[in-house]
Amino acid sequence: MDYTATQKPNMHMGNSSMDGTDGSQLFEDTSGVAAGPQAGYSNQQAGLQAAGFSGQSLLSDPMSNLAMAYGSSLASQGREMVDKNLDRFIPISKLKYYFAVDTVYVGKKLGLLVFPYMHENWEVSYQQDTPVAPRFDVNAPDLYIPAMAFITYILVAGLALGTQNKFSPELLGVQASSALVWLIMEVLAVLLSLYLVTVNTDLTTIDLLAFSGYKYVGMIVGVVSGLLFGRPAYYLSLLWCCAAIFVFMIRTLRLKLLSEAAAEGRQVRGSRNQLRMYLTMSIAGAQPLFMFWLTYHLIR
């Protein structure tokens, strides 16, 4: 039998079924689904731009520029107000003068504090009725050396307490706070004495703070000498530094507290000048007492 004629119609029917549009597909076409979100996002952007919410329109909006200018003006006014009120209580411009130092000045000033006996001219130099910066005159008071000396004294005190197995953060804080309290009390006592004696002087509170802070240099020398060479070295070095700070304070403050006649070397007369002289001696004599009081317990 011939099977060729009977099989050809079946093959033709199979091909027609596979090529027809009504047949089921093997894979689902998802290209339209993937394009849906992108089209939606594009529509949203187009809607925002049409509504006027583009970034360029915000930057070019006159109201936004006006608000930014108003905010910057308020910020500048607030900064000026803060600076003005801060300068009323803390004279920042004056503090800059007391920190205008350099390495040469610091070296000369430390030498003057330790050995003031050969120094002759103790007057502060002036330029157009204003004192020159400390870096140009070794006689000018500064706050850099007192501040650094105070911090160094606290560190040396912590080292000394550590050698005695007594170191603790609380005890170091007590040491720092007590030294600061004594310094503030000393300055307040001097201000009260100047007010009671009615001394007209150009000494300011910052000047007194600077002069009272110079004693920490001698205290550091005494404690370090005691730690390195024992208690006798502490007493010898501290005695030397006490005598040096006494001479330094006498020669510095006599030009500030005594009359012009005393500054020129003439004899001081009158009860008021005697009070000024006693006050100068008292301020200078208090420095060695504070130096010993704040250091004797650090050496064993």
Does residue 260 carry a pLDDT above 70? no
Structure tokens that stand for 40 in this block: 């939606």
Q: Is residue 80 part of a domain?
A: no
Distances (CA, A) of 189 to 16, 52, 182, 184: 117, 71, 10, 9
Q: Is residue 30 part of a domain?
A: no
Q: Is residue 86 part of a domain?
A: no
- HSE-CB at 258 with a 13 A cutoff on CA atoms is 23
Does residue 262 carry a pLDDT above 90? no
Helices 144-163 and 169-197: crossing angle in degrees, nearest 10, is 140
Q: Which has the higher per-residue pLDDT, 76 or 297?
A: 297
What is the dihedral angle through the alpha carbons of 85, 88, 92, 94, rounded to the nearest 10 degrees? 160
Confidence at residue 17, expressed as pLDDT on a 0 to 100 scale: 41
Domain that holds residue 247: 144-296
Reported as a pLDDT band with limits 50, 70 and 90, residue 277 is: confident
Dihedral sign, Cα of residue 210, residue 293, residue 171, residue 159: positive
Confidence at residue 86, expressed as pLDDT on a 0 to 100 scale: 52
Q: Rounded CA gap, 118 and 135, in Å? A: 20
Does residue 300 carry a pLDDT above 90? no
Short-list 279, 18, 248, 34, CA closest to 141: 248
The pTM assigned to this predicted structure is 0.69
Q: Is residue 44 part of a domain?
A: no
Reported as a pLDDT band with limits 50, 70 and 90, residue 87 is: low
Q: Which has the higher per-residue pLDDT, 61 or 170?
A: 170
Reported as a pLDDT band with limits 50, 70 and 90, residue 289 is: very high
What average pLDDT does the structure give for the chain?
A: 78
Domain tally, the chain: 1
Short-list 157, 222, 158, 215, CA closest to 186: 215
Short-list 241, 253, 159, CA closest to 208: 253
Helices 231-257 and 215-229: crossing angle in degrees, nearest 10, is 170
- Which whole number is the average pLDDT over 54-65? 57
Q: Is residue 48 part of a domain?
A: no
Confidence at residue 22, expressed as pLDDT on a 0 to 100 scale: 46
Q: Is residue 112 part of a domain?
A: no
Our CA angle for 208, 212, 218, nearest 5°, is 155
Q: Is residue 231 part of a domain?
A: yes
Q: Is residue 125 part of a domain?
A: no
Highest mean pLDDT among 2-11, 94-103, 144-153, 266-275: 144-153
One-letter identity of residue 73: S
160-164, 180-184, 195-199, 215-219, range with the lowest pLDDT:
195-199
Q: Which has the higher per-residue pLDDT, 275 or 245?
A: 245
